[in-house]
Structure 1
Amino acid sequence: MVATRLPGLGVAAAGGGVALLVHALVPVLSPTLVAIVLGIVVAGSGRLDASTGPGLRVASRRVLRVGVALLGLQLLLPEIVALGWPLLVVVAAVVLLGIAGTLALGRLLGVPPERSLLVACGFSICGAAAVAAVEGVRESKDEDVATAVSLVVVFGSVVMLALPLGAVALGFDPVAAGAWSGASIHEVGQVVVAGGLVGGAALQVAVAVKLGRVLMLAPVLAAISLRSRRTAAVRPPLVPGFVLAFVACAALRTFAAVPDVALDGAGWVQAGALAMAMFALGCGLEVAALRRTGAPVLALAGGATVLVALLGLPAAFVAG
């Protein structure tokens, strides 16, 4: 059984490695988006045979969940608590109201509920990792996952560049600008870039606020899983194993002295696992499927971006 998965896992590892290399050479290019596009190109070339199928399926599911679980090692709870309760209230509001508002907008636009949920969580929590985590609970279609990830990267990159300019135009100091960035931008990596563009103390505040949103991933996934148990014919676990692993990693980082070399290694594994998974998802897609994204989903992504930015704006006044 293991041997049948090796060809596909090898292809996914190579594709993920290329995506990480491209990101290292051109940091503005997200490795998740590069991996998906590369997977689509490779699959479209007709060079993949049936032997890669089992391994690619493992990469797009199980390897993906490893990446999400290791994300917990980025969380240092005392630093998040140190933000203070007013800022934490804003963080919770961004996540909860962002998800609720995006789902409501999706219904108005006629976007399928599953796709709306993936977009809502990706835009409101932590980008591609949140999309992947929801997929792990809901077993979403590869087409929906790839679409949501692509939208997260594209719209998040726009906000990554536009929000620092907006903060300057509004006269925010670096701390206020960093808090708004962390509360509003989709991906952790995009928050780092935006914080660096503002400079000063912005980066540290931006990352701390963003990780507060990442911390919301576990309770949101538990709630989604609980709802899925009520409606699904085959009931998923109340709390999926990879969510428990995510919480365990966060607890380990908080209560144990994890060496820097271990954190760096885990960071590479986490990035590699997500890149592998996104490449595998890309291999299962057709260009025609992405063309069916349509105006309603693009409008949903734009609306969710604006909503989250507005919900995150109070963070600037609380922090500043």
Structure 2
Amino acid sequence: MLSHIAQTKRPTQPFSGLADGIASGLLICGLIAGGCLAFRTLTGWQAVSPLILAIICGMLVRNLPGVPKAATAGIGFSLRRQLRLGIVLLGLQITAGQVVALGAAGLVTVVATLAATFLAITMVGRWLGVDRQTTGLIAAGTSVCGASAVIAANAAIRGREEDVAYAVACVTIFGSISMLVYPLLAAPLGLDAMAYGVWTGATVHEVAQVVAATFQAGHEAGEFGTISKLARVVLLAPLVMILGLTAFRTARGEHSAGAAPFPWFVVGFIAMAALNSVVDIPKALEGLTALASTFLLATGLAAMGLQTDIRALRAKGLRPLALGAFGWLFISVFGYVMVTLTGL
């Protein structure tokens, strides 16, 4: 009788263990993300991205004390599900009106700079011998919106954790340099508030970096910088769709037999942006969704860091870093040329 009861209970144990593993993994990722958000709030350093801090902290935990094997399932859940939900909620920070406010010249500058940068990095990456996954992620992060674009593009490209971490490192390094250098260049380059704002928003990697760089030149420059940056974020959706519908990620061979799966979370991103364009969402709710989006993205990046082996990053060498440097210089110069040609 007792043996029969034991046998009937035994099959439920793996499910219980899996649930515990998911919970522990989610807890680790959530603690890292919450700590990074708290750090920015307590220090007041708005230019510091909690997304970047999250992947750095995750990598430190992974490579110093290590991660319990039982938490693997929860970390994987954060990496797949929470990341994509965060990107969907990111759509609520964008409206069609914000994009239209740039005017034709501003929109042309943003779109042309993004497209030219992505193509240029892709071609130079091939010339440098950088693998297609890392090249695609660096191109997405540089041309669109930093770490958020890297993790969104990776849903289609399917790069390794090390590819994502390297790409995030590149956009962090060079975006931070731009954040410090750009305010010093506005006067020598003869840029007024609008031209400087659009140039910065169209070329600097992270949203936080754009805000920090543009508001130093005044409120008007800050507004134009933020709007042009959000216009780039809108273009994240079609870019990821294109990557998802092409064979961009077939270089490793494991998916070459068929087309890449469609990144359905991008549809959610577009739907949220459309909703925000036609419905007046209360400011309090808008703030909560923005915080939720940042937290979910940070938990996903923490999970990314928790799966990243620093030795594998070191093994990739300096060529991806050189590609990131090229992309940074290209987008900065090309964006300035576009601002000049369009008469902003």
- TM-score band by shorter chain is over 0.9
Look up the SS of the partner of 1:299 in the other structure: helix
Which of 283, 299, 302 is matched with 1:279 structurally?
302
1:36-51 matches, within 5 Å, as 36-46=55-65, 48-51=67-70
Structure index of larger Rg:
2
- Please give the per-residue CA displacement for 1:26-78, whole angstroms capped at 9, x wherever unaligned: 43432222211211222233353111000001111211111111111111112
> Take 1:46 and 1:27, find their aligned partners in 2: how far apart are those partners?
29
Where does residue 23 of structure 1 map in the other structure? 40
Superposed counterparts of 1:108-257, under 5 Å: 108-228=127-247, 232=255, 233=257, 235-238=259-262, 240-257=263-280
User: Hey, what's the Cα distance between the residues in 1 that align with 2:53 and 2:343?
Assistant: 35
The C-alpha deviation readout for 1:132-178, integer Å capped at 9, x for no partner, is 11111222211101111111111101011111211122121111111
CA distance in 2, matches of 1:235, 1:119: 22
1:6 aligns with 2:29: no
SS of 2:246's equivalent in the other structure is: helix
1:22: Cα distance to partner?
2.1
Give the secondary structure class of the aligned counterpart of 1:171: coil
Aligned residues: 319
Change in Cα spacing, 1:243 to 1:110, as seen in structure 2 (3 Å) is same
Deviation at 1:229, TM superposition (A): 8.9
Aligned-residue sequence identity (percent) comes to: 34
| Counterpart residue type for residue 184 of structure 1 | T
Instruction: Please give the TM-score of this superposition, normalised by the length of structure 2.
Output: 0.88
Residue 75 (str. 1) matches residue 94 (str. 2): yes
Tell me the distance in 1 between the aligned counterparts of 2:315 and 2:248: 30
Q: Is the 8 A contact 1:160 1:194 kept in 2?
A: yes
Q: 1:242-287: CA deviations, max 9, x gaps?
A: 1000001100110111111111011111110111111111111122
Does residue 104 (structure 1) correspond to residue 127 (structure 2)? The answer is no
TM-fit CA distance, 1:2: 4.3
**Change in CA separation of 1:47 and 1:290 when aligned onto 2, cut-off 3 Å:** closer
The structure-2 alpha-carbon separation of the partners of 1:44 and 1:230, relative to structure 1 and needing over 3 Å to count, comes to closer
- TM (norm. structure 1) is 0.94
2-side partners of 1:174 and 1:262: how far apart?
31
- Partner of 2:313 in structure 1? 290
Q: Distance in 2 between matches of 1:196 and 1:230?
A: 38
The superposition leaves residues 210-267 of structure 1 with CA deviations (integer Å, 9 ceiling, x where unpaired) of 11111111111111111039963354443x2210000011001101111111110111
Q: Separation in 1 of the partners of 2:245 and 2:81?
A: 21
Change (3 A) 1:241 1:202: same
**Dislocated runs of 4+, deviation >6 Å:** none
Matched residue type, 2:272: C
Paired with 2:164 and 2:336, the residues of 1 have a C-alpha distance of 28
Q: Deviations over 1:95-121 (max 9, x none)?
A: 111100000111111111110000001
Q: Structure 1 residue 207: deviation in Å?
A: 0.9
Higher mean alpha-carbon deviation, 16-25 vs 262-271, is at: 16-25
Query: Structure 1 stretch 159-168 or stretch 309-318: which is displaced more?
Result: 309-318
Q: Is the 1:66–1:242 contact (alpha carbons within 8 Å) kept by the matching residues of 2?
A: yes
With 221-230 and 76-85 compared, the bigger mean Cα shift is at 221-230
